[in-house]
Structure 1
């Protein structure tokens, strides 16, 4: 009976126990069944303590939490309550009612939600498999002892000042579903245990750190991964072609591991802005590898991720053509390929994306006619295509020729025009000199009266100038003597 009660949620346990207590009280008020009432009361007292009798702190996990507290600087004093032997009573810590294992390290908010059961009733529960230490201005390194917290579902420590390498011991946290270490100062590489020993990760967010090296192939083993954010770091190499193994970005299915995502909060960068996702988080499908040093071509395998909503590969060193099959991403809403070295034409298949609301391919080496149709005709901002001098067509002012190329002039024609301009400059200079010289001197030669008048006027000006100079010199001489 006790084991069956333990399987129920705390509200259900309370309801059953209340019913049992009422029944026992009724039986006690009669003169019969005293023995049955005695057993029912004992069962009621035992079940009323089910929630607290097993809720005790495991010493190994308590030491791991204390090591975390000692290893970081906590200006917000969120960890000041972490004293005593029972870590299950510490602020922000919650333990599993059956095993006593730490399942929540929530240093910001408690996540409450309601679940609808098969019987239509709604049970209020606290989902406690979280480790949220975000926005607390923590600094320092993550201790290796954190690997003892093997029941954590979420490791969320974004927007702090944590540094050092990501500890290898975290591979023991095999229940992790959400890893968010973004906006910190972590160094080193992405550990390879992500995807091997921790295979159920749904969200991997490590943007804005000092991480480097190649993007590990092991990430392709994360079949449940639907948000991959490694932007604004120093990753090198090529984009893994095996990303087509990310099943959650190809097949629409609801995983039991992702139930908690409906009630967790997450930030993401879409359309150049940071957005906050709450209840819709589990429906977000995104890959953001922007602002790194990635090179090579965009792998065609990405075009098989048909559920992808956001693809941001901007500010890298990618080259080659845009994959022709990119139109297969029928759910795509945001596409940013700007500030790369991409070549060739913009694929016509992009015009078939009916959900596309933001696109940026500026500052590449793209050429040819800009495709038209569907959503592309609503993207009328010419800055989307700027920095590609060989693109033409709407919304650019550069017209296309019949073969789809810009109607640019031949460089030889430009050279000829420059030569003609130089010739005409000298011709006009000579003509101006001839007209000006003979227009004055020729008139004086041919017209005698004008010639005499000109020389008389010139003599008058000369005499006035001499007189003015003499008066000025004489006046200065008198002042000196």
Structure 2
């Protein structure tokens, strides 16, 4: 029944039809979701109500869809918090509530849904940062959400897509992202990230779409493997980035400050002449110290 220009409210009689699959997406339905559709003992496994003009709470408060696996509610006018009723759906695999008017924090109980493969929350007004419990969601493959960039994301080795754009992110790009060995899409654009792009990311051989545009990144762009295929627009809005594919050549002033400080401190000790001189002086000191002790003992006797 999707894409049929249906209007009006969702009939409450749908709740008594023992439906396992209901797709009413891409219509012009309005009003709220009837409680009879999501109440106790509903056999619904797949519910798609995306791209309508539904409003009110995301789900009725007494929702208890224990068999639900796929829930699509994107592109509506839902308000309030992410519904706690989702915690009653332990088999949930896909949760898509993008482009609504949801607010509040991402609930901690969401991270206990270990069967989740896709979580799509962007385009709302959610607050706060992602919790360290994120590592529990080991089956997660698609993650599209606003706010936060914890190092623990690097432990989600099954991720195929990670979209953290337009999320007011600060700090640096975690090196732990190198562990996302299956990721194909990585979007960190339109944030306030600083520092360099970790060279370790060139190990992401499946990466086909990448963007860090409009941040405050600096230093040389790693231009190897997959990264040699990305266009200039992927790096727009970062005036301190340099090297291919940008026309801006790298110089010593283009290096991130922490990188320059590290090179300054290591420059002398890494020089071969310094190393051999240090070894020679150390050996001579040890040699004469040993014989000095023997002479002192002989005189003492």
Q: TM-score interval w.r.t. the shorter chain?
A: 0.7 to 0.9
Match of 1:319 in 2: 170
Structure 1 match to 2:182: 331
Offset of 1:130 from its aligned partner? 1.1
CA contact (8 A) 1:103 1:130 kept: no
What TM-score, normalized by structure 2, do the two folds share?
0.77
In the alignment, structure 1 residue 136 sits paired with structure 2 residue 66:
no
- Render the CA deviation track for 1:133-185: whole Å, top value 9, x for unaligned: 21221100113333145211122111111000121121x11111111111000
Distance in 2, Cα, partners of 1:155 & 1:161: 16
Q: Could you say which residue in structure 2 is the equivalent of 1:242?
A: 133
Matching of residue 286 in structure 1 with residue 142 in structure 2: yes
Shift of 1:244: 1.4
Contact kept in structure 2, 1:145 and 1:169, CA below 8 Å: no
Within 5 Å, give how 1:27-426 maps onto structure 2: 76=6, 102-104=17-19, 129-146=20-37, 147-148=39-40, 150-165=42-57, 166-170=59-63, 172-194=64-86, 196-249=87-140, 285-289=141-145, 292=146, 294=147, 296=148, 298-379=149-230, 381-402=231-252, 405=255
Is the 1:102–1:149 contact (alpha carbons within 8 Å) kept by the matching residues of 2?
no
Report the aligned-residue RMSD: 2.5
String of CA shifts for 1:188-247, please: whole Å, max 9, x gaps: 0002232x3221110000001011111111111111111111111111111232221113
C-alpha separation in 2, matches of 1:132 and 1:324: 41
- C-alpha distance in 1, partners of 2:43/2:183? 35
More helix, by proportion:
1
Task: Give CA deviations for 1:441-464 in whole Å, capped at 9, x if unaligned.
Answer: xxxxxxxxxxxxxxxxxxxxxxxx
Shift of 1:78: 9.6
Secondary structure at 2:169 match in 1: strand
- Which segments of 5 or more consecutive residues in structure 1 lack a partner in the other structure? 1-73, 88-92, 95-100, 105-128, 250-284, 407-481
Tell me the CA shift for residue 355 of structure 1.
1.0
1:302 is paired with a residue whose SS is helix
More off after superposition, 142-151 vs 340-349: 142-151
Distance 1:403 1:202, change over 3 A: same
Please give the alpha-carbon distance, in whole angstroms, between the structure 1 residues aligned to 2:252 and 2:218: 14
Instruction: Give the Cα–Cα distance (whole angstroms) in 1 for the partners of residues 213 and 161 of structure 2.
Output: 17
1:186, 1:236 → 2: CA distance? 16
Aligned to 1:125: none
- The count of residues paired between Structure 1 and Structure 2 equals 251
Q: Distance in 1 between matches of 2:246 and 2:5?
A: 53
Higher relative contact order (CA 8 A, sep 6+): 2
Show structure 1 runs of 4+ deviating over 4 A: 77-80
TM-score using structure 1 length: 0.49
Measured in 2, the distance between the counterparts of 1:239 and 1:364 equals: 20
